[in-house]
Structure 1
Amino acid sequence: MIYFFLAVLGYVLLAIVNILDKFILTKKLPKPAVYVFFSTVFLILLFSLVPFGAGFLDSGFDYLIAGLAGFAFMSAVWLMYTGFCQSEISHAGPMIGSAVAMFVFLLSSLFLREQLSLLQIFGVLVLVAGSLMISFEKSRLHTGWHKGIFWLIGGGLMFAISHVASKYIYDGYGFFTGLVWTRGFVGFFGLCLLFYPPVFRALFGARQTKSQTSWQQFGLVFFNQFMAVTATVLIQLAIALGSVIIVNALAGIQYAFLVVAVWLVTKFHPKLFAEKFTRGEFRNELISVLIISSGLVLLLI
């Protein structure tokens, strides 16, 4: 059960990362593509570990799968950040997470032939239901589900493809080699964003103002990405050690922590970060958290 605790720690860190993502996209780097570049490009350094134990893959097909995992992950981050810009984070996080859980369940059943007990399947469905319920947004800009959820659902599909492809590589080569190649390709495709004009102009175009290029700004981005990488490694290790379906279903912990953290920041530090919490909406989110918790219990029986 060590994979369970690794996944829980990873998802708690991801909840913190999501809050900082929303803050950065709102206050620091409002263009999602530019933030995707900074979020992924440094992972290309993982390729430097190939001579130090990671080694090479055995076939062109395996390189294709590893490349698919990397491209899908980079695309998922881009779609997710775009959705974050159009949604409140306490709703967007659960929305993309529920999409990941559903797509991973379908793809793993089709391609990895993973099987769960009927009770565990019911637990996954309960988690998805709770996540969808918590995704219903009532804010100053939206009531109910809005067009931003399509970006999030697309991101969820791409994350699921990345997770399932990564699991295939982990099963064949072990965690270390699999991590180097799947996440190294994330960095490679992140570097390719330099050919995307908005990213190139943002980095090398007109001279940026001091506030736009401050070390404090980049320090926050890099700190957030360090936490994101740590969380990703923990979750990927959990996937390598356990069931990809269960590990992704455990993302319900991330949503519960995210809602509580956003409420606390909104209440005590509204100038830093604030979202609208009506009494009915907060009650809906609490009920959703209870449903998510019930799903987690079912997964562990």
Structure 2
Amino acid sequence: MIAWLFVIILAYFFFSLASLGDKLVLNRRADPVVYTFYVGFFSILLALIIPFINFGWPAREAVIWIILEAAVNILGLYLMYRAVNKFEVSKVITTIGATQPVFIFALTWIFWGPQTMATKIILAFIVLLLGSIIISVERNINLTADYLKITILASLMFSLDYVFSKFVFSSMTFWQGFIWMRMFIFLFSLLFLITAKNRKAIFTKQTITDKKTGLLFALTQMSGGGANMLQSFAIFLAPVAFLPIINSLRGIQYVFLFLMTLFLSVFLPKILKEKISKTAITQKIISIILISGGLAILIL
């Protein structure tokens, strides 16, 4: 258990760096087509390591899961960026993150049947889920039908991504499965180039407004890419029954993000300045205690 637990915690650290970058890059309206295209397009870079690994063709049944994983991944990204384009990025990300563990728990039962879990593992899942929900709760969220439809659907797509990834890894080595999934994500991203409207939006010079924004976007995507790789490795290592646990640990990402935001707001306010109320700090402290307790239950 310790191996995948360490890997997923490290993944959530890099996810928090990516989220911090999103706070800075996506403070303006984000074109969902443009961002989804570039995130998917740069997935092909992983093909560069093919000469250095034992790479082979996937089995026929694995191809189906690879295609499904790539499809829901791209669709989830598009829906997430579409939500970010209409609503606040912090609220969108936290809503998606808070609902995913429930979806994954249900999906593991649907695809693999009831999972045998020790009482302490169930308790850890509940405590971690509660901590993740509390830390991700935002005040004054306008829960409109449009907001819920987009964010919940995005959450479902990312949850299916977890499940389909596990099916891929059950029949392939980690690097083979991960690279094949990234290559198909790249192929699906090319579908955005079909229409002239999308091509104009993607290749216009105004897509990246300045070099600093472009560099920050690149660093954000590198952090997100590293986080996705580590998350996939944790999915590869963990038993099916622990997939909901992996996602319920997402609260750790918000802990890292809160500490980074607090540091920048206090010491580097020119980069990022957010007003953090005493109520918010209390909320984070309670969440940190719950998440720490959940981790302790898992480890001990």
Question: TM-score, normalised on structure 1?
Answer: 0.85
Cα deviation for residue 133 of structure 1 reads 2.2
**2:283 maps to what in 1?**
284
**1:190 maps to what in 2?**
189
Alignment partners' CA distance in 1, 2:195 and 2:220: 24
Cα deviation for residue 231 of structure 1 reads 1.3
Cα deviation for residue 30 of structure 1 reads 2.4
Verify the 8 A CA contact 1:109 1:115 in the aligned structure 2. Answer: no
Distance change in 2, residues 1:33/1:104 (3 Å): same
Verify the 8 A CA contact 2:46 2:182 in the aligned structure 1. Answer: yes
Please give the residue correspondences for 1:32-43 in structure 2 after superposition, counting only pairs within 5 Å.
32-43=32-43
Alignment partners' CA distance in 2, 1:299 and 1:194: 46
Encode CA deviations 1:163-186: one digit per residue, 9 max, x unaligned: 110111101112111101222222
Cα deviation for residue 88 of structure 1 reads 5.3
2:11 alignment partner, SS class = helix
Distance change in 2, residues 1:83/1:123 (3 Å): farther
Alignment partners' CA distance in 1, 2:267 and 2:292: 26
Cα deviation for residue 241 of structure 1 reads 1.1
Supply the AA of the counterpart residue of 1:131: S
CA RMSD in angstroms, aligned pairs only: 2.5
Verify the 8 A CA contact 1:252 1:296 in the aligned structure 2. Answer: no
**1:23 maps to what in 2?**
24
**2:97 maps to what in 1?**
97
Verify the 8 A CA contact 1:79 1:154 in the aligned structure 2. Answer: yes
Cα deviation for residue 227 of structure 1 reads 1.6
**1:295 maps to what in 2?**
294
**1:181 maps to what in 2?**
180
**Which stretch of structure 1 is more off in the superposition, 253-262 or 267-276?**
267-276
Distance change in 2, residues 1:50/1:261 (3 Å): closer
Supply the AA of the counterpart residue of 1:32: P
Cα deviation for residue 63 of structure 1 reads 1.6
Distance change in 2, residues 1:122/1:92 (3 Å): farther
Supply the AA of the counterpart residue of 2:21: L
**1:128 maps to what in 2?**
129
Asked if 1:155 corresponds to 2:154, the answer is yes
Distance change in 2, residues 1:213/1:100 (3 Å): same
Supply the AA of the counterpart residue of 1:300: I
Question: TM-score, normalised on structure 2?
Answer: 0.86
Alignment partners' CA distance in 1, 2:172 and 2:208: 42
Alignment partners' CA distance in 2, 1:110 and 1:174: 24
Supply the AA of the counterpart residue of 2:33: A
Distance change in 2, residues 1:122/1:196 (3 Å): farther
State how many pairs are aligned: 291
Supply the AA of the counterpart residue of 2:96: I
Asked if 1:110 corresponds to 2:110, the answer is yes
1:274 alignment partner, SS class = coil
Distance change in 2, residues 1:298/1:87 (3 Å): farther
Alignment partners' CA distance in 2, 1:277 and 1:196: 44
**1:146 maps to what in 2?**
143
Asked if 1:262 corresponds to 2:258, the answer is no
Give the one of 234, 248, 261 matched to 1:238: 234
Alignment partners' CA distance in 2, 1:215 and 1:65: 38
Alignment partners' CA distance in 2, 1:198 and 1:132: 39
Query: Mind listing any 5+ residue stretches in structure 2 that lack a counterpart?
Result: none
Supply the AA of the counterpart residue of 2:103: F
| Identical positions, percent | 27
Supply the AA of the counterpart residue of 1:56: W
Cα deviation for residue 70 of structure 1 reads 0.9
Supply the AA of the counterpart residue of 1:17: A
**Which stretch of structure 1 is more off in the superposition, 91-100 or 1-10?**
91-100
Verify the 8 A CA contact 2:133 2:251 in the aligned structure 1. Answer: no
Distance change in 2, residues 1:17/1:149 (3 Å): farther
Asked if 1:218 corresponds to 2:214, the answer is yes
Verify the 8 A CA contact 1:66 1:169 in the aligned structure 2. Answer: yes
Cα deviation for residue 219 of structure 1 reads 2.4
**1:58 maps to what in 2?**
59
Alignment partners' CA distance in 2, 1:196 and 1:5: 43
Distance change in 2, residues 1:13/1:45 (3 Å): closer
Supply the AA of the counterpart residue of 1:87: E
Verify the 8 A CA contact 1:92 1:135 in the aligned structure 2. Answer: no
